[in-house]
């Protein structure tokens, strides 16, 4: 049970955490993977190599310590993390392992200053946090299992179609090997997919956004092949190069709290690169609903060769109240409707956007979304109408 003394003690250690920085979480992960290497089948080891996961964990620990006496502030972040955990099939016993290595890390790094009183407080604080996640994730697993076509563990799916969408993006249509139905999902959600790449020591789990409207029979993900850094592209390259129609993968049920919120108001879908995948799911869902709401689809892309779903989006303009624009950094065709050159500048189309009453959905690299959010705020869009998704360990901006 977390007491006021525990709370005061944890908050008093915040300066110690701040001074140590990500050294704490880097030490933690090294320790945990040394003693429990089986967890390498669960964690994204690419994020370990780049430092993104240790940084994300440090920020989460610091935020928890700061707001331990007012956890409602963290509700959104907790739900976002819980959804991500269910896509990895995280189980309660794994929280015991994580907790053990977290406390031992603090003991080893803080040294004699890590008194029995501080240890007791952090053990109680961690257990409170673990119990919150275990409860929420347990409810999510149960809810998914109870739905039509539902399940609560990795389920085998077969690739029934592999379709290139652009120079770097390929779509995979997946149907369950058992022939059963699948759970419907909210447009904007993602799937956790588990594979074992050739000549690779561990299983790899990644999350990919669902890229079309739900149909109750199968799923479609659209995967960008990462070329800049092989370490960051283990799974995407494996899917592109090795996984073929007829092959099997394992999936967790759809997850994620970045979803289209159905309202009688204009919708603006803004993306860059492969960030268009959840936007395409939202757009296809609006088309399936024969939506009468004004819809705006704004996309930024490096060049026409890397532009996925371009013809598909244009075709929907005949049936929806759809306005669409694309910005190409290079090779933008001249004198072409709906095409602009360079970086996305919303001022160029501001006069047609529903700045006063629209909902704005953003997905793409963090730098791009920060750039767009700043533009939206400067144009008068209120922050509560700006919704976003970040690939990888979650970040706020």
DSSP state string for 282-303: HHHHHHHTT--S-EEEEEEES-
User: Which is the catalytic residue, given 137, 165, 204, 226?
Assistant: 137
User: What are the tens digits of pLDDT across the range 349-366?
Assistant: 999 999 999 999 999 999
Per DSSP, the three-state class of 338 is coil
The pLDDT value given to residue 34? 94
The pLDDT value given to residue 50? 60
Does pLDDT of 231 surpass 80? Answer: no
| Helix, strand, coil percent content, the chain, rounded in steps of 5 | 45, 20, 35
Which helix (H) or strand (E) element contains residue 222?
Answer: strand 219-224
In this structure, is the dihedral angle defined by the CA atoms of residues 148, 196, 240 and 48, taken in order, positive or negative? positive
Which tokens in the block code for residue 325? 């624009």
Q: Which residues are annotated as a binding site for FAD?
A: 190, 206-209, 390-393
Residue 110 near residue 16 (C-beta atoms within 8 A): yes
Q: Which residues are annotated as a binding site?
A: 85, 190, 206-209, 273-278, 390-393
Domains of the chain: 4-146 (1.10.490.10), 155-251 (2.40.30.10), 267-388 (3.40.50.80)
Q: Which residues are annotated as a binding site for NADP(+)?
A: 273-278
Does pLDDT of 53 surpass 80? Answer: no
The pLDDT value given to residue 229? 53
Is 137 catalytic? The answer is yes
| Exposure on the CB side of residue 297, measured as CA atoms within 13 A | 28
Q: What are the beta bridge partners of residue 271?
A: 299, 363
The pLDDT value given to residue 228? 57
Mean pLDDT, the chain, whole residue set: 92
DSSP per position, 122-166: HHHHHHHHHHHHHHHHHHHHHHHHHSTT--SS-EEEEEEEEEE-S
Which helix (H) or strand (E) element contains residue 340?
Answer: strand 339-341
In this structure, is the dihedral angle defined by the CA atoms of residues 85, 93, 99 and 135, taken in order, positive or negative? positive
Exposed / middle / buried, residue 25 (Cβ in 10 Å: 0-12, 13-18, 19+)? buried
pTM of the model: 0.92
The pLDDT value given to residue 394? 47
Q: What is the average per-residue pLDDT within 95-113?
A: 91
339-341 sheet: strands from edge to edge: 339-341, 322-328, 295-301, 267-272, 359-363, 386-389
CA distance 345 to 375: 8
Is 238 catalytic? The answer is no
Query: Distance of CA 264 to CAs 112, 207, 261, 267, 286, Å?
Result: 60, 30, 10, 9, 12
Report the chain's C-alpha Rg in angstroms.
22
Q: What is the average per-residue pLDDT within 192-212?
A: 93
User: Which is the catalytic residue, given 95, 260, 325, 361?
Assistant: 95
| Range in 69-73, 81-85, 169-173, 252-256 the model is least confident about | 69-73
Residue % of the chain over a pLDDT of 90: 77
Q: State the DSSP code for 182.
A: -
CA distance 88 to 207: 9
User: What are the tens digits of pLDDT across the range 168-190?
Assistant: 999 999 999 999 999 999 999 99
């Amino acid at each position: 049970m977390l007491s006021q003394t525990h709370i005061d003690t944890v908050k008093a250690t915040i300066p110690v955490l701040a001074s140590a920085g990500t050294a704490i979480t880097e030490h933690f992960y090294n320790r945990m993977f040394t003693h429990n290497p089986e967890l390498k089948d669960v964690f994204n080891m690419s994020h370990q190599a780049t430092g993104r996961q240790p940084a994300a964990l440090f920020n989460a620990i610091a935020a928890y310590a700061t707001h331990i006496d007012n956890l409602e502030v963290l509700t959104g972040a907790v739900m976002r993390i819980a959804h991500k955990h269910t896509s990895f099939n995280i189980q309660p016993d794994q929280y015991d392992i994580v907790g053990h290595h977290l406390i031992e890390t603090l003991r080893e790094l803080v040294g004699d200053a890590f008194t029995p009183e501080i240890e007791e407080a952090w053990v109680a604080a961690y257990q409170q946090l673990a119990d919150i996640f275990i409860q929420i994730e347990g409810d999510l697993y149960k809810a998914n299992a109870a739905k039509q076509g539902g399940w609560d563990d990795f389920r085998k799916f077969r690739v029934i179609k592999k379709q290139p969408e652009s120079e770097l993006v390929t779509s995979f249509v997946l149907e369950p090997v058992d022939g059963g139905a699948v759970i419907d999902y909210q447009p904007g959600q993602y799937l956790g997919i588990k594979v074992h790449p050739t000549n690779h020591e561990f299983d790899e789990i990644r999350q990919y956004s669902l890229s079309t409207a739900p149909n109750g029979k199968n799923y479609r993900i659209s995967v960008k092949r990462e070329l800049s850094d092989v370490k960051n592209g283990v799974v995407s390259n494996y899917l592109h190069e090795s996984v073929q129609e007829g092959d099997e993968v394992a999936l967790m049920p759809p997850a994620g709290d970045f979803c289209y919120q159905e309202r009688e108001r204009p919708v603006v879908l803004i993306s860059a690169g492969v960030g268009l995948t959840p936007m395409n799911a939202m757009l296809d869902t609006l088309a399936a609903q024969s939506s009468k709401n004004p819809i705006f689809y704004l996309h930024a892309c490096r060049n026409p060769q890397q532009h996925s779903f371009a013809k598909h989006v244009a075709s929907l303009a005949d049936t929806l109240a759809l306005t669409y624009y694309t910005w190409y950094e290079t090779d933008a065709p001249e004198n072409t409707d709906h095409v602009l050159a360079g970086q996305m500048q919303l001022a160029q189309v501001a006069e047609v956007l529903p700045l006063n009453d629209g909902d704005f959905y953003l997905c793409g690299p963090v730098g791009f979304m920060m750039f767009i959010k700043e533009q939206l705020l400067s144009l008068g869009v209120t922050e509560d109408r700006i919704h976003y998704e970040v690939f990888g360990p979650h970040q706020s901006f």
